Chains A and B, each alone.
Chain A
Amino acid sequence: MVGIIIVSHSQKLAEGVAELAKMMAADAPVVPAGGLDDGTFGTSFEKISTAIDSVYTDDGVVILMDMGSAVMTAEMVIENMPERKIRMLDCPLVEGAVVAAVGSSANQSLEEIAESVQDAASEKKL
């Protein structure tokens, strides 16, 4: 199964998004990596790396993130693991996480998940 990492500046936000995604797909490997080690705001290179390690398989991992340093720090983590199959997905965090979790629990490939998340990103709520 494709692992899903939720990166946010806020630990609570990342945990909440992971929780919400798991509501739809309880067995999906969704791991929050929010905030700094002490729980304060920020994005942590270590936390993201550890989260990837905890769910990584040959199926690969997708990273969904909020803004700014979440994107840049995730980029640097991926550059630090060049041998691994990891992709950052550009999407609204909540919608993307739900779609990715459902896809992963249905054993979709990383490419299939990336595609459906991209579709979800273009959908309008109103």
Chain B
Amino acid sequence: MTDSSKVIEILKQIGEQIQMEKDFLTELDNVIGDGDHGINMARGFKEVEKKLADLSGKDIGSILKTVGMSLVSTVGGASGPLYGTAFMRAGVAVGAKTEIDGSDFIAALEAAIGGIEMRGKAHEGEKTMLDALIPALNAIKKSYAENNDFKAALAQGVEAAEKGVEYTKTIIATKGRASYLGERSLGHQDPGATSACLMLKVIDRML
């Protein structure tokens, strides 16, 4: 499906996309959080980009772990330890492979989600990035098991993630800064779910 150099390309592209959507993500976070999601993610991925140059030729596990550590060190907000843990766990799941297939990707995404649940003590339905990622994983798994076509499965995953982002508008936040707003968080989409969906879209576009 994909190899180390492609993974690096995808990560670069995710960084560029985050940069482009920085103001939008911050705007979303202004309404229900502390208004720094876009700025924080952009700062984190700028650091990731610097590290990527030295990672060519490395195995995919090492690449993902380095990305995770960079995010933890530079993001500054909750998305730092959350995405940081997610990428590190994904890296551990992939291990020393330099080429991965659909089932490796699924295992990595599953590990990433487990990391976010553990670090954030969070579950689906709390208006977080999990509300995009868990439906995406489920859709990808189901489709991949049925058709053995990863590209098609990923497209299903992106669709499920987009629906998940929409779903976050209909629920009250019970985790993170937005939880202090109670019902006032209703009607607004979650910035974390939005950035998670954005990453899946980039992966889908690049594969």
Chain B residues contacting A82 (CB-CB under 8 Å) are none
In A38-96, the 8 Å CB interface with B consists of: 40-46, 67-69, 72-73, 75-76
Contacts between chains A and B (CB distance < 8 A), count: 48
Q: Which residue of B lies closest to A36 (CB)?
A: B76
Chain A residues contacting B40 (CB-CB under 8 Å) are 42
Q: Is the CB of B176 within 8 A of A68?
A: yes
Q: Kindly specify which of B79-87, B140-148, B164-172 makes contact with the partner chain.
A: B79-87
Q: Is the CB of A76 within 8 A of B81?
A: yes
Q: Considering the chains assembled together, what is the distance between the CA atoms of A67 and B175 in angstroms?
A: 11
Q: Considering the chains assembled together, what is the distance between the CA atoms of A75 and B120 in angstroms?
A: 11
- Kindly identify which residue among A40, A41, A46, A72 contacts B81, using a CB–CB cutoff of 8 Å: A72
**A81 → chain B closest CB, angstroms:** 14
Q: Which residue of A lies closest to B176 (CB)?
A: A68
Chain B residues contacting A44 (CB-CB under 8 Å) are 73, 76
Say yes or no: A69-B76 contact (C-beta < 8 A), given A41-B36, A42-B40, A75-B119. Answer: yes
Q: Check B177 for interface membership: any CB of A closer than 8 A.
A: yes
Q: Check B8 for interface membership: any CB of A closer than 8 A.
A: no
Q: Is the CB of A68 within 8 A of B177?
A: yes
Q: Considering the chains assembled together, what is the distance between the CA atoms of A108 and B40 in angstroms?
A: 39
Q: Considering the chains assembled together, what is the distance between the CA atoms of A14 and B181 in angstroms?
A: 24
**B178 → chain A closest CB, angstroms:** 10
**B136 → chain A closest CB, angstroms:** 22
**B90 → chain A closest CB, angstroms:** 16
Q: Is the CB of B36 within 8 A of A75?
A: no
Q: Is the CB of A73 within 8 A of B34?
A: no
In B14-31, the 8 Å CB interface with A consists of: none
Chain A residues contacting B80 (CB-CB under 8 Å) are 42-43, 45, 69, 72-73
**A40 → chain B closest CB, angstroms:** 8
Chain A residues contacting B119 (CB-CB under 8 Å) are 72, 75-76
Chain B residues contacting A72 (CB-CB under 8 Å) are 78, 80-82, 119-120
Q: Is the CB of A69 within 8 A of B78?
A: yes
Chain A residues contacting B176 (CB-CB under 8 Å) are 68
Q: Is the CB of B85 within 8 A of A41?
A: no
In B63-111, the 8 Å CB interface with A consists of: 72-73, 75-82, 84-85
B interface list, Cβ under 8 A from A: 34, 36, 40, 72-73, 75-82, 84-85, 119-120, 176-177
Known: A36-B76, A42-B75, A69-B77. 5 other contacts (CB 8 A): A41-B36, A42-B40, A67-B177, A72-B82, A72-B119
